[in-house]
């Protein structure tokens, strides 16, 4: 009879040894520290930044390394080396983000390390104004750069004081994604919705605000050009009628007056005088 009492211990020991060997074979990477962008007062950019990733353990079958920013591959960064380097010569706020060096191997999973370039948010794009008719849908938006991604908030100005948006009507919808925010307003009310709105972006390094204007027109707004043309026609007709009524009497020809001089009557008088002279 064979005893199995020692088998569980052997299995556990084997698993531990396997994990130990696997951990020893896993690549290790030394990377640069996280960086905070500080804008130079004399320039629109910060001082140059160099990010480094060094594969400290030697592994056969290393294919190379490349860089990513915010989960997107940076073209032209592939290198055949175990010491990767990425330089930002004139870093701006839009260079902030999460960078990652990725080492690839023939027979091993990829290995990576992350370096964060942090900066206060800066709103670089927004819809300055929106013009809509009452009852329609309006969309206001803001875009920012900076990292970490900001927390977005929207407010409406009341006598230049930012106030929370009253959404008791359920017509306001806010959607945020990373460095983008959007405020949608449905079934526009001409009495309540027009005015100035503010989008605000805030992260651990700072905050920034931008003002946008919403204008709401009446239902009759599309008819205004037609009404303007009709008004011009009516005014023109009135001018013609008034002019005709105010003509001077001498400008109107009297039907009782003779049309031309009585030439035949004058000739008859001349003939009569001649006959009287001949008779005498």
So what's the pLDDT on residue 58? 65
CA distances from 70 to 29, 100, 123, 178 (A): 19, 8, 18, 11
Among the listed residues 101, 6, 111, the one whose alpha carbon sits nearest the alpha carbon of residue 50: 101
Q: Predicted confidence band at 5 (pLDDT cuts at 50, 70, 90)?
A: low
Q: How far apart are the first and last CA of the chain?
A: 192
- Torsion angles phi and psi, residue 227, rounded to 5: -65, -35
Q: Predicted confidence band at 152 (pLDDT cuts at 50, 70, 90)?
A: very high
Mean pLDDT score, 213-218: 94
So what's the pLDDT on residue 223? 66
Q: Are 45 and 90 in contact (CB under 8 A)?
A: yes
So what's the pLDDT on residue 13? 46
**What's the rounded Cα separation, in Å, for the pair 114 and 67?**
10
Between 25 and 16, residue with greater pLDDT: 25
Between 36 and 24, residue with greater pLDDT: 36
Q: pTM to 2 decimals? A: 0.68
Q: Are 117 and 95 in contact (CB under 8 A)?
A: yes
Give percent of the chain with pLDDT exceeding 90: 59
So what's the pLDDT on residue 74? 96
């Amino acid at each position: 009879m064979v005893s199995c009492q020692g088998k569980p211990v052997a299995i556990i020991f084997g698993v531990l040894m396997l994990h130990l060997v696997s951990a020893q074979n896993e690549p290790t990477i030394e990377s640069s520290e996280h960086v905070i962008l500080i804008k130079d007062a004399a320039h629109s950019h910060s001082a140059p930044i160099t990010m480094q990733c060094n594969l400290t353990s030697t592994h056969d079958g290393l294919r190379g390394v490349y860089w990513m920013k915010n989960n997107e591959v940076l073209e032209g960064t592939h290198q055949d080396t175990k010491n990767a380097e990425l330089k930002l010569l004139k870093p701006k706020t839009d260079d902030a983000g999460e960078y990652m060096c990725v080492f690839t191997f023939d027979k091993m999973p990829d290995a990576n390390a992350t370096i964060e370039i942090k900066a206060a948010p800066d709103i670089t794009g927004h819809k300055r104004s929106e013009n809509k008719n009452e009852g329609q849908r309006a969309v206001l938006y803001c875009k920012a750069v900076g990292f970490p991604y900001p927390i977005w908030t929207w407010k409406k100005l009341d006598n230049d004081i930012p106030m929370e948006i009253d959404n008791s009507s359920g017509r306001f919808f806010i959607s945020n994604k990373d460095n983008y925010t959007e405020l949608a307003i449905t079934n526009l009310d001409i009495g309540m919705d027009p005015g100035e709105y503010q989008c605000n972006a805030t992260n651990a390094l700072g905050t920034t605000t931008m003002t946008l204007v919403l204008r709401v027109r009446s239902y009759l707004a599309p008819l205004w050009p037609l009404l303007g043309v009709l008004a011009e026609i009516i005014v023109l007709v009135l001018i013609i009628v008034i002019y005709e009524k105010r003509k001077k009497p001498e400008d109107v020809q009297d039907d009782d007056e003779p049309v031309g001089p009585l030439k035949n009557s004058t000739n008859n008088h001349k003939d009569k005088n001649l006959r009287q002279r001949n008779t005498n």
